[in-house]
Every structure is written in structure tokens, then in C-alpha cells.
């Protein structure tokens, strides 16, 4: 049996402790990298070179993350949410559950085609999907208590997560599929990434049917929640 050391895992403990004590994240990650490097007896120059290379590769990451948020914020300031709500209120057949079901189908199908950036919480759920789902409920019931509003927002975010998670597993160039292909090949099991992606289709269909059923029942659930809340308010009055 080959002996192995657990000391390289010291960096994980440093990260957990640093975040628990709410230290500066950059400082915590740097100290964790240093602790791991020392544990594996990495030369200090090699450690500095690795740290510099990682910095150069990710220096544009804040711009990539923050620029879309600024654009979304500007659109919201000029009435994006209100326009979305007014538009959905014109569709008489629209309900919260039906709207989310349509979005689930679109999100899962586009993720399966590799278009994972078409949705997401900051760029789609918050400025568009949630306001439209809230407007659909308010159109039917002429009331939208905060408790119901938060449930709609939570289900909107969950729908985006499920559509993305199970849809991207079908995309042949998805990182997880490439990882599984590499792992299986190194283990002596020859398979093609396309075959792995195809086996993700039954899971994606099952996820769509299960969550789609939840969404179809979501309207009735929200209606019951509203009735219960109205009865409680009447009792207090």
C-alpha cells in the first residue's frame, strides 16, 4: 500500500478558517496557496510563478462579471421590469406556473445546445423572469403579498437552476462530459463524449417532467397560500 500525506490538504483548512473568521478573501486564498505549497515542499520561486500565472489568467474576470451587472442595472433603471410586467399582463392565458414551464423548456433546450449564457439569475431571472411571473399572478388574483412574491422569486431561480444543470449535461463539449471521458479513458474504458452526452438525455427529460409537474401545480399552491393568508388577516381584523 502506497503511503500518502494529508498535509497538502492544509490549504482547505486555511480557506475554511479564513472565511469563517471573515478575513479578506484574497489574503485567505494567498495564505492557503502558500500553506499547500509549503506542504508539498514547492520551491518559493515555483510558487510565485504559479501565483503570477493564475493572476494573469483571471485578471479580466472581475470585468467579465461586473460589466453585465452594470448593463442590467441600467436597463432596470429605465423601466425594464415594468415593461416586462406590462407585457405579460396583456396575455390573458398566462399564469405563473405556465410561464415558468415555458422558461424551463427554453432554458433546458438552449443549455443543451451550449448556450448557457442566455439565462442566469442576474441577467434573466431578476430583471425579467421574476417580474413577469409576479405580474401573471397579480393579474389573476389582483393581489401579491410579500410571502407569495418571495415564493415566486424562489421558484423562478430554481427553474433556471434546474434547466441549466440538466440541460448542459447533454452538450457534448460541456466540461463535465470531457472530464468523465478523460477519467474513463484513463481507467481503461473507451467511450466517446457523444455517447456520454446522449445518456444525459433521459435524466434531462425526467428532470423536465418532474419539475414541470411541480410548476403546473404551483398555481394552485399559490392560490391556496393566498386564501390562507387572507383568512388570517380577516381573523385579525
**pLDDT tens, residue by residue, 117-145:** 888 888 889 888 999 999 999 888 888 88
CA distance 65 to 102: 27
Q: Look at residue 199 and tell me whether its pLDDT is greater than 70.
A: yes
At residue 34, the pLDDT reads 82
Say which range, 67-71, 170-174, 232-236, has the weakest mean pLDDT. 67-71
pLDDT tens per residue across span 165-184: 999 888 877 777 777 778 77
At residue 224, the pLDDT reads 92
At residue 65, the pLDDT reads 54
* All cell numbers assigned to 124: 434573466
Polymer length in residues for the chain: 237
Asked whether the whole model's pTM tops 0.75, one would answer no
CA distance 153 to 131: 8
* CA-to-CA separations, 150 to 49, 125, 177, 203, 214, in angstroms, rounded: 47, 13, 35, 29, 17
Q: Look at residue 223 and tell me whether its pLDDT is greater than 50.
A: yes
CA distance 191 to 179: 12
CB atoms < 10 A from the CB of 103, how many? 22
Q: Look at residue 1 and tell me whether its pLDDT is greater than 50.
A: no
CA distance 83 to 131: 9
Amino acid at each position: 500500500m502506497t503511503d500518502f500525506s494529508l498535509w497538502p490538504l492544509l490549504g482547505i483548512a486555511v480557506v475554511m478558517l479564513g472565511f469563517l473568521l471573515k478575513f479578506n478573501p484574497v489574503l485567505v486564498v494567498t495564505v492557503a496557496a502558500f500553506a499547500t505549497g509549503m506542504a508539498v515542499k514547492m520551491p518559493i520561486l515555483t510558487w510565485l510563478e504559479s501565483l503570477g500565472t493564475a493572476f494573469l489568467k483571471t485578471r479580466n474576470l472581475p470585468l467579465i462579471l461586473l460589466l453585465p451587472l452594470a448593463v442590467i442595472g441600467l436597463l432596470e433603471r429605465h423601466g425594464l421590469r415594468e415593461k416586462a410586467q406590462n407585457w405579460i399582463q396583456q396575455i390573458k392565458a398566462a399564469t405563473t406556473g405556465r410561464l415558468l414551464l415555458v422558461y424551463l423548456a427554453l432554458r433546458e433546450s438552449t443549455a443543451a445546445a451550449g448556450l448557457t449564457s442566455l439565462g442566469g439569475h442576474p441577467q434573466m431571472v431578476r430583471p425579467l423572469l421574476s417580474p413577469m411571473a409576479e405580474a401573471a399572478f397579480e393579474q389573476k388574483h389582483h393581489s401579491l403579498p410579500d410571502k407569495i412574491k418571495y415564493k415566486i422569486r424562489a421558484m423562478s431561480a430554481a427553474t433556471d437552476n434546474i434547466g441549466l444543470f440538466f440541460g448542459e449535461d447533454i452538450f457534448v463539449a460541456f466540461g463535465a462530459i470531457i472530464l468523465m471521458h478523460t477519467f474513463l479513458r484513463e481507467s481503461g474504458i473507451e467511450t466517446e463524449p457523444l455517447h456520454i452526452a446522449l445518456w444525459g438525455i433521459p435524466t434531462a427529460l425526467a428532470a423536465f417532467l418532474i419539475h414541470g409537474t411541480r410548476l403546473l401545480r404551483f398555481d394552485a399552491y399559490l392560490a391556496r397560500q393566498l386564501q390562507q393568508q387572507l383568512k388570517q388577516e380577516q381573523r385579525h381584523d
